[in-house]
Amino acid sequence: MGDQQNAGKCPVMHGGNTQEKADVVAWWPESLKLDILHQHDRKTNPMGEAFDYREEVKKLDFAALEKDMHELMTDGQDWWPADWGHYGGLMIRLAWHAAGTYRIADGRGGAGTGNQRFAPINSWPDNGNLDKARRLLWPLKKKYGNKVSWADLFILAGNVAYESFGFKTFGFSYGREDIWHPETDIYWGAEKEWLAPSDERYEDVEKPDTMENPLAAVQMGLIYVNPEGVNGQPDPQKTAEQVRVTFARMAMNDEETAALTAGGHTVGKTHGNGDAEALGPEPEGADVHEQGLGWHNPNLNGKATNAVTSGIEGAWTTNPTQFDMGYFDLLFGYEWELKKSPAGAWQWEPIDIKEEHKPVDTTDPSVRRNPIMTDADMAMKVDPAYRAICETFMKDPEYFKDCFARAWFKLTHRDMGPKPRYIGPDVPAEDLIWQDPVPAGNTNYSVEAVKDMIAESGLSIGEMVSTAWDSARTFRGSDMRGGANGARIRLAPQKDWEGNEPDRLAKVLKVYETIAAESGASLADIIVLAGSVGIEQAARAAGHEVLVPFSPGRGDASDEMTDVDSFEPLEPLADGFRNWLKKDYVVKPEEMLLDRAQLMGLTGPEMTVLIGGMRVLGTNYGDTTHGVLTDREGQLTNDFFVNLTDMANTWEPTGKNAYNIVDRKNGNTKFTATRIDLVFGSNSILRSYAEVYAQDDNQEKFIQDFINAWTKVMNADRFDLEKLQKS
């Protein structure tokens, strides 16, 4: 009645679903969220189809922008006063928190898309007042326009801030492309309130490694850990254990973690000098007159001293606008005790600190304030492993600076993919193992001759297509990792993954190695090319002559180029395209298929046509016949869709994730299937795609669409063919 009453007061009919909560499928909360496959399409992008940011940024006057960025650091604004007249600490936090959402489990998050401009991240408690940092950058974005993305600006601001503080960074790359609305594919946790107790994310909160995957933060709305301690209760050793897990989940080891903690807290300060309850709502919750700014502080009065952000109050070092060894000097030079900040947050303060070791007030240099440490800082002192690393840093400041520079570069570039994607004058020459380097491949060989050798090898269509697919399916558009280039499927850990059928894989690779030795083609090229041969043979068997596009030039990575530990998270736990599950999971098989398709950058129709084609080609894991809805296995036909949509059939459950497709008239079982197969008939959206491919007049369309989607998957990591990718 409430909505009807409100409508009665309004002279304008409110017929549009204009609020996020008014989801048309909210009645059925377990419906597949297929929209994640179609976010960031051309309709949301104001730049138009012809715009190519990665080409546009190459025209940027890099030196001019960076000069302006340096000047911005000390160009104070009355509406948001700078700490000690320098915005560097704020800009470092901006960059850190943009990059710090990255998690290695699925490659999602990170700074690569400029997603910090949008909900929910722009309104996370941990991102308090970073809206001000973004507004401070607006004059530069306005000036340089299309030649620099917000995503690049965020990270550049952090780099320039460190340079302004006297630190030499490792390098910087441009090339991050902005998105234009929130990322709807990323799962940030199931909690319905900010900073809900950590217990909800763990099987046992006392065991940090039981935190729900793929999450890499201990509470909703935080980047990593609670700075006050586990669930806000100080205990540095317990916090250390959470720090170790959260940083590992974003691909950092203990040394990198300690370096980042120390280097991040060598400059800048926390803000909690006032009543946190007095702050206004976050940006997404603020009224229109706030113009997208949040956390309004009625007590700021133009003084940086009065800022309230985290609730913790103080600087970590004596000289917070200089990059020095002051963090270690204070942390290890004094004993520390628990205190409450003016905002009521737990923090550690030094006992009997010398007056000259206190940092000066951010507004009034005649006043000195106690430095502080968070529970995570104290963890560096209390935890034996972190303490040993910090002691090494203290003995060798140059080593510390190098470790921090490299860790900061990794933090801010981890989701950019391999080095060939880097742009700009400050790209480091050194190849780093976490960049997944791949040497250039040979293009000086006869593709047709290699195809003939593959065709005469005796391998089946299923073996050729499955091996190519398994090699390419690891690609993640989230962080540009994985894919067929490099042929890492022949190396540890991939060669031993259960989903790759190691025995079958070894047999196929042995054949390919012989062809590679005779032809000069890389194994990576041969793996992909063999998939093309299999598809062309299957199409020919169905009466269609086709040519699968192929671009030579993939290289073969070595064991030395491969970080085994960082590749482990890329192991598929399921592959709906090959109708395989490693084991039964709480998550439905079709949801795991959807997640994989989104990471691979597939649309709904592309996912659909690939499923239909893969089934009839005989690519199922272990040669099972589930979903092979054809009597012509090995021929590229639309039979999967024809039989799935045929009302002469009915479908009977036979067990967990197992179904028979039965003739309605005689009761005979015609085929078997899994949920992955049947969802393309049961889900109304997927069925609409399936019906297209089942039509009598769309057999050729099916084949061409399959080839197009297949080629997209095979070329997903060919960053040397970027222009081709966009076509």
Distance CA 420, CA 720 (A): 7
Q: Active site includes 97?
A: yes
At 75, is the secondary structure helix, strand, or coil?
Answer: coil
Per residue, what are the HEC states of 215-244? CCCCCCCCCCCCCCCECCECCHHHHHHHHH
Residues sharing a CB contact under 8 Å with residue 627, sequence separation 6 or more, in sequence order = 579, 611, 615, 620, 640, 671, 672, 673, 674, 676, 677
Cis ω before 120 (30° cut-off from 0) = yes
At 252, is the secondary structure helix, strand, or coil?
Answer: coil
Pairing of strands 580-581, 574-575: antiparallel
**Distances in whole angstroms, Cα of residue 368 to Cα of each of 303, 340, 358:** 16, 18, 6
Q: What are phi and psi of 189, to 5 degrees?
A: 130, 160
| 349 strand-pairing partners | 337
Distance CA 417, CA 480 (A): 4
Name the residue type at position 311.
Answer: G
Per residue, what are the HEC states of 656-717? CCEEEEEECCCCCEEEEECHHHHHHHHCHHHHHHHHHHHCHHHHHHHHHHHHHHHHHHHCCC
Pairing of strands 314-315, 580-581: unpaired
Given 14, 38, 70, 97, which residue is catalytic? 97
Q: What is the DSSP string of 572-593?
A: -SEEGGGTEESS--SS-HHHHH
Distance CA 230, CA 236 (A): 9
Of 484, 400, 388, 383, the residue nearest 436 (C-alpha): 484
Pair 220, 191: CB distance under 8 Å: yes
User: What is the Cα Rg of the chain in Å?
Assistant: 28
Distance CA 201, CA 186 (A): 16
Q: Could you tell me where the DSSP H helices lie in 600-652?
A: 604-616, 639-644
Active site residues: 97
